[in-house]
Structure 1
Amino acid sequence: MSTPEEEFYTEERWENWLDRLRDEDIDPEEEDSARLLLNLQDDVAIAVAKILTAYEDGEIDRETAIEELTDIREVVLDEPDIEDEETLILVDGVQTSLVCVFFSAEQYLAEGVATDAQITDYVEAAADAEDEEDLDRALGLAAAAGTRVIDGDDLDISVTEEFEYGLVTEWVNGLDSLQTALADPEVIDEEE
């Protein structure tokens, strides 16, 4: 039961995405560039969703699921080897969004669903914590919202429209990718 038949995500896959970013003139204002960055983020979120689904379906145990998440997190959050400063900043934004995806999945596997508040309450409390520069608390609260996403709650990202742009808005963006991935875990072709 605890050995997955497939690898959920590989370093090679991540590097293939980074190669595409290195090869293209990335402009986040341009639709193709924005789509490429979103596909990169969604691709990782899909891998996380597949791990969570495999765990829920009893195909892998909790320990294996956590190990798989750790492996992906180490690949994805590692400092990328990209010389172009603007591209590096854009990849960093994707990585920042994915931080909360990983923390949410790990919290869900370790502790289950956060049930002390509604999903939007967690997000709003995370934004308040960020305003107070308590980033650890902000991430914990955003991850609590993420456990609710994993459990099937709907996260309306318009809740962030009133927030000043920052880490919480990035994290909610990542949770939106996770929500989409859990609803429709279709693999994104790296060549798209």
Structure 2
Amino acid sequence: MSEPEETFYTNDRWQNWLSRVEEEDLDPENEDSARLLLNLQDDAAIAVAKIVSAYDEGELDQEAAVEELAGVRDIVLTEVEFEDEEKRMLIDGVQTSLVCVFYAAEEYIAAGPAEEASVDEYVHAAADAEAAEDIDAALGYLVQAGTRIIDGEELDMALVEEIEYGLVSEWVNGLDSLQSALSDPEVVEEDE
């Protein structure tokens, strides 16, 4: 295996997004603010999708793919030091959504797609686990769902409307970004 020419994600890229968030007058109810946060999340999900695709196409071996994912995860999940607490919380929400994306990609690379249930069944199991306050199990089910999404199964976002707001809904939101990234891995322009 040759070293891939491509850098999947950089700290500078993440910092550019954070700078935009810091400069913007953010209102989560405002469509432009919501889009900025979604673009930031989608951009990281696209990097994950590209790593998984490079792995699937044999451009990266298992070890290299896991290393690349860890590199992106370390950049994206580092605690943000904004003075504005509300913006810090908004970024924290994006990071929370992406946690499941990273785990799902790692699980997919390590073990392939889960085969015990469908995406919908895993999402329902995760919601039930969250209701029972078993957060680890909830995350585990969504990681399995994520491996199936990477394998091409559709996540029906209508499911989210049935789920109470919480970690599961945030993680499913991240999986939706991953699904979008896998179907259209175009780079999100930072200067829209």
**In the alignment, what sits opposite 1:56?**
56
Q: Secondary structure at the match of 1:3?
A: coil
Structure 1 residue 2: deviation in Å? 4.7
Identify unmatched segments of 5+ residues in structure 1. none
**In the alignment, what sits opposite 1:42?**
42
Structure 1 residue 160: deviation in Å? 2.0
**In the alignment, what sits opposite 1:16?**
16
Q: Secondary structure at the match of 1:159?
A: helix
Q: Is the 8 A contact 1:114 1:144 kept in 2?
A: yes
Q: Secondary structure at the match of 2:185?
A: coil
Give the total of aligned pairs.
Answer: 192
Find out whether 1:187 has 2:187 as its counterpart: yes
Inter-partner Cα distance in structure 1 for 2:185 and 2:122: 25
Find out whether 1:75 has 2:86 as its counterpart: no
Identify unmatched segments of 5+ residues in structure 2. none
**In the alignment, what sits opposite 1:114?**
114
Give runs of aligned pairs for residues 41-190 of structure 1, distance below 5 A.
41-190=41-190
Runs of 4+ in 1 over 3 A off after TM superposition: none
**In the alignment, what sits opposite 2:29?**
29
Q: Is the 8 A contact 1:2 1:61 kept in 2?
A: no
Give runs of aligned pairs for residues 2-13 of structure 1, distance below 5 A.
2-13=2-13
Structure 1 residue 42: deviation in Å? 0.3
Inter-partner Cα distance in structure 1 for 2:158 and 2:93: 19
Inter-partner Cα distance in structure 1 for 2:25 and 2:8: 29
Structure 1 residue 31: deviation in Å? 1.0
Letter aligned with residue 72 of structure 2: I
Letter aligned with residue 47 of structure 1: A
Q: Is the 8 A contact 1:98 1:174 kept in 2?
A: yes
RMSD: 0.8
Letter aligned with residue 60 of structure 2: I
Structure 1 residue 132: deviation in Å? 1.1
Inter-partner Cα distance in structure 2 for 1:163 and 1:178: 19
Q: Is the 8 A contact 1:126 1:139 kept in 2?
A: yes
Inter-partner Cα distance in structure 2 for 1:114 and 1:2: 29
Inter-partner Cα distance in structure 1 for 2:119 and 2:24: 38
Q: Secondary structure at the match of 2:186?
A: coil
State percent identity of aligned pairs: 65
Q: Is the 8 A contact 1:2 1:64 kept in 2?
A: no
